[in-house]
Structure 1
Amino acid sequence: MDKKFSQCKWISLLTFALMYNLVYLGRFNVNNMLDIMSRDLDITAVREEMIAMSVFISYALGSFINGYLADRIGAKKVIIIGGVMSVFLNMAVAFQNNWAAVLMIWLANGYFQSMIWVGGIALLANWWTQGERGKGIGIANFFSGMSHATAYLIPAALMAAWPDMDWRVNFILPMLILLAFLYLFGVAAVEKPEERGLLDYEIKNHRHQAREQALLRISNRKQGPWRYFFSQKKFWWWCGIAMLSSICRYGLLNWIPLYYEEERGGQILSSTFSNLTLPIGMAFGTLIITWIAGTKLFNNKGIIVTAMAAVCGTLVVIFPMIEDTRAVLVGIFFTGFALYGINGILWLHAIDQGCRVFPGSAAGILNGFAYLGACAEGVLFPAVMGFFDDKMAVFVIMEGLCIGMVICGMVVSKKNTVVIPEVRE
């Protein structure tokens, strides 16, 4: 492949990935500061829940819209709009003294945050061909996984360095870092090969060629691709995988630490469990699993989803029997590894389905279902635990979700798969 083409695709990938590593600073800011904010602004527990959930609701709905927007007006433009608006909306929170204003701003922030990832998928689709796409998406999703740790460490470091610092500063200083990396992305990233006088990569897969031509006809008629995607029966099952994996992911982040804190007196896990161990497992899982799933060595993403969901289900059964801290942390690491590996595969499938015409739209639909799952997690787990009046219900719910993912993975698996040597296109 042309050296200049390779250089552009790597620069575009790395500048986007580095910038996205900081995006969660602007998504979890309220969650990190909510206890302090609540004392300062006199926010009740119910209002806290409304504010915390608002970003997920608007993010889910925004994903359905903004994926198509990225395909129509340009992925890079959508990423920059989303990033800049999120920076200024975070800064706006710092000047609020009313919970309702914070809620409205955070709803808007979720919408603009949803532009960034789907825009990135649309941009990467222009550069990363089938056969090596898993490497590019895996690296981008690696930085997405690590962003959970970044969003914890930077505010924590600021609070540790300046214990008397007002919570409002944490809505300003980290955003200046994000703005700097957003500028770097805007200057260095290239949206399409033609902008540098390069030819597009050639699609070798005949089914993908036919699909791209069909989507081009839809695009030329100025129609949206939603009817096309939802007419594909297996696409609904992929939406189910997106939702179930997201419920599990946020359930793992939020409820298993609570189980160990309340049932075991907090002796096994510290706060670093969900803030560091799990994100690191997630990051390496999605890097390795997505990389493998995107090659032609083993081109059956459904089987990998099934296998990773089965690993999660096995670990969930074992957790309540573990007493040793190190064993729990190892289990948590590998649960995050498998879960976020499934997440990475979603974006490979989005590009396979949307090709270079509507990759953002396909990613937006899957991301929308994923964050509907994040919203459902905040209702499902408390409701079931309240009904059974037992924190052990956390593991029962997660086991059921893992079984659901296994079923979905089996449905979308290709039949009669064989392992063939990888061929780079």
Structure 2
Amino acid sequence: MNESIKGAWGYRHVILAIVWLLYLINYFDRISVLTFLPYIQKDLSLNAIQLGWLASIFFFGYSLAQFLAGYLADRIGPKKTMNIAIWVFTIITGLTGLVRNYWQFIFLRLGLAVGEGQHFAPAIRMIANWFPRAEKGRANGFFSTTWAVAPAVVPIAVTQIAAVFFDGAWRPVFFALAVPGFIGAFLLWRYVNDSPKVMYERGKVTKEEYDLIVSSVDVEATEHGKTYSAKVFLTDIQFYLYTAGLVMVLMIYWGMTTWISTFLVKQHGMNLKTMGFYASLPYIVAFFSMFIGGWAADKWFEGKPKVVTVISFLGCIPTLYFIGQVPKGDTNMLLLWLAVGGFFVNLSWGMMYSFPGWRYPKELVGRAVGVSNGVGQFGAFLSPLVAAYLVVELPDKSFDFGGVFIFWSLLAIVGAVAISFLKEESILAQTAGAKEATAA
């Protein structure tokens, strides 16, 4: 393989850019709901527990949808599965602006979850199809920036749109958010294909790039008559250690993302515009953190990228605790800890979602991601809900989130322990090595 081809721009990067943009669109509506949560609470007369259920119920439906998404990504292909997702969540996003009561919102959140739940596993499978093993950390690290860019941009964008164009009203914003979904559906139809081989035959991929893509072990196994059962990962103890760590990552990330705007409004007394900036800060930092984590996994810790995730968890332990302890009015300290929190909470994404592609044949990546992310998103369902019961409502109608951030710090301890035992070696290479040792 010509070394100059490695890392060079190719059609695989076009695929990655479109997959990134599609998932960014996916994130806009769910983050917008969380950004407007304190104002939705007021509009619909909700208490803290109802607010917690409204935020969490999305992840219950999203968790269940992951299992079907993983199966569909492997069976009908990631492109078709993502197309289903985009049309469903785009329509429901527009309907969100019409919601009038708590139960209508619950049903819409579940519908949105079913649509968006069909998107993640096929996106990861698409990256597994198009990138060789040596580039998976960086590719997934870049893809992961969608859940840094969206929470960084959305709170500022939607609060400014609401304030400037709609006199602070949140409902019209969701009508506008449906438009990018239609654009995304067109891009997917026009420029994306599941198979590098097909695009090579169409002249979109060079011979050099195609050889690079298929250079990883068994990357094109189905073309050579090989098949793999889900038993490969379901009987692998490393899969369960990985899933346990992923549960903790998602509980921390979605717990904090769900409650950050309400935390800033209810504990620190911020107005609409100020809250939008502060809520974005952790994710502005996260954008760079994800790049650093993915790059470090490929370059600094080659062969042991789990080190990045352990560092991430260890950094979260004190940081999350101190965010919850910042006194009201101490904006400089709050800015500092939110920025540090954004760095450590998001450092590990590139490594975490590269693991199935490192460990298992690409023919199993969709199902492995569907199962692990399905379990993980159930944790994302529990975390905001547990937080709702840990929030202390004060007599002046403000909230105290101190216990909530302690809870998330404890989750980081569990995650660090689980990931410290993880092995990232390809299971096929591991099995082959074991057979050779036995033969010798």
TM-score bracket for the superposition, by shorter chain length: 0.7 to 0.9
The CA distance in 1 between the partners of 2:265 and 2:313, in whole Å, is: 26
Does 1:392 pair with 2:399?
A: no
Aligned pairs (5 A) from 1:194-273: 194-196=197-199, 197=201, 199=210, 201=212, 208-209=217-218, 217-219=226-228, 225=230, 227-254=231-258, 271-272=275-276
Deviation at 1:88, TM superposition (A): 0.9
Deviation at 1:334, TM superposition (A): 2.5
- Work out which of the residue numbers 333, 339, 342 in structure 2 matches 1:336: 342
Does 1:404 pair with 2:401?
A: no
Does 1:129 pair with 2:148?
A: no
How many residues were matched structurally?
A: 404
Deviation at 1:96, TM superposition (A): 4.7
Q: Which residue of 2 aligns with 1:366?
A: 372
- Work out which of the residue numbers 273, 280, 283 in structure 2 matches 1:276: 280
The CA distance in 1 between the partners of 2:362 and 2:213, in whole Å, is: 11
The CA distance in 1 between the partners of 2:324 and 2:34, in whole Å, is: 27
Deviation at 1:252, TM superposition (A): 3.2
The CA distance in 2 between the partners of 1:211 and 1:300, in whole Å, is: 25
Deviation at 1:256, TM superposition (A): 6.9
C-alpha change, 1:276 and 1:320, in structure 2 (3 Å) is closer
* Higher mean C-alpha displacement, 257-266 vs 147-156: 257-266
Query: Residue 133 of structure 2 aligns to a residue in which SS?
Result: coil
Q: Is the 8 A contact 1:135 1:287 kept in 2?
A: yes
Cα deviation 1:215-240 (Å, max 9, x = unaligned): 97555xxx5x2x33221112111111
Q: Is the 8 A contact 1:81 1:112 kept in 2?
A: yes
Cα deviation 1:126-177 (Å, max 9, x = unaligned): 1111112222111111133111123323322321222348644222212102
Cα deviation 1:362-420 (Å, max 9, x = unaligned): 22223223321221112323445569x974323432332121122112111579xxxxx
Q: Which residue of 2 aligns with 1:26?
A: 29
The CA distance in 2 between the partners of 1:256 and 1:30, in whole Å, is: 12
Q: Is the 8 A contact 1:25 1:175 kept in 2?
A: no
- Work out which of the residue numbers 339, 347, 356 in structure 1 matches 2:362: 356
| Structure 2, unaligned runs of 5 or more | 394-398, 426-440
The CA distance in 2 between the partners of 1:321 and 1:246, in whole Å, is: 22
Q: Is the 8 A contact 1:8 1:189 kept in 2?
A: no
Cα deviation 1:178-215 (Å, max 9, x = unaligned): 3213322331223211212164646666xx549968x9
The CA distance in 1 between the partners of 2:125 and 2:219, in whole Å, is: 19
Q: Is the 8 A contact 2:155 2:276 kept in 1?
A: no
Q: Is the 8 A contact 1:130 1:203 kept in 2?
A: no
Once the two structures are aligned, what percentage of the paired residues are identical?
19
- Work out which of the residue numbers 62, 71, 75 in structure 2 matches 1:59: 62
Deviation at 1:325, TM superposition (A): 3.1
* Higher mean C-alpha displacement, 164-173 vs 364-373: 164-173
Deviation at 1:45, TM superposition (A): 6.2
Query: Residue 376 of structure 1 aligns to a residue in which SS?
Result: helix
| Structure 1, unaligned runs of 5 or more | 416-425
Q: Which residue of 2 aligns with 1:181?
A: 184
The CA distance in 2 between the partners of 1:217 and 1:354, in whole Å, is: 13
The CA distance in 2 between the partners of 1:144 and 1:385, in whole Å, is: 25
Q: Is the 8 A contact 2:59 2:113 kept in 1?
A: yes
Q: Is the 8 A contact 1:133 1:295 kept in 2?
A: no
The CA distance in 2 between the partners of 1:97 and 1:265, in whole Å, is: 26
Q: Which residue of 1 aligns with 2:151?
A: 148
C-alpha change, 1:263 and 1:43, in structure 2 (3 Å) is closer
The CA distance in 2 between the partners of 1:41 and 1:350, in whole Å, is: 42
Query: Residue 172 of structure 1 aligns to a residue in which SS?
Result: helix
C-alpha change, 1:384 and 1:37, in structure 2 (3 Å) is closer
Query: Residue 358 of structure 1 aligns to a residue in which SS?
Result: helix
Query: Residue 412 of structure 1 aligns to a residue in which SS?
Result: coil
C-alpha change, 1:52 and 1:188, in structure 2 (3 Å) is same
Task: Give the TM-score normalised by structure 2.
Answer: 0.79
Q: Is the 8 A contact 2:38 2:265 kept in 1?
A: no
* Higher mean C-alpha displacement, 121-130 vs 185-194: 185-194
* Higher mean C-alpha displacement, 317-326 vs 49-58: 317-326
Q: Which residue of 1 aligns with 2:290?
A: 286
- Work out which of the residue numbers 314, 324, 344 in structure 2 matches 1:310: 314
Q: Is the 8 A contact 2:142 2:350 kept in 1?
A: no
The CA distance in 1 between the partners of 2:345 and 2:48, in whole Å, is: 30
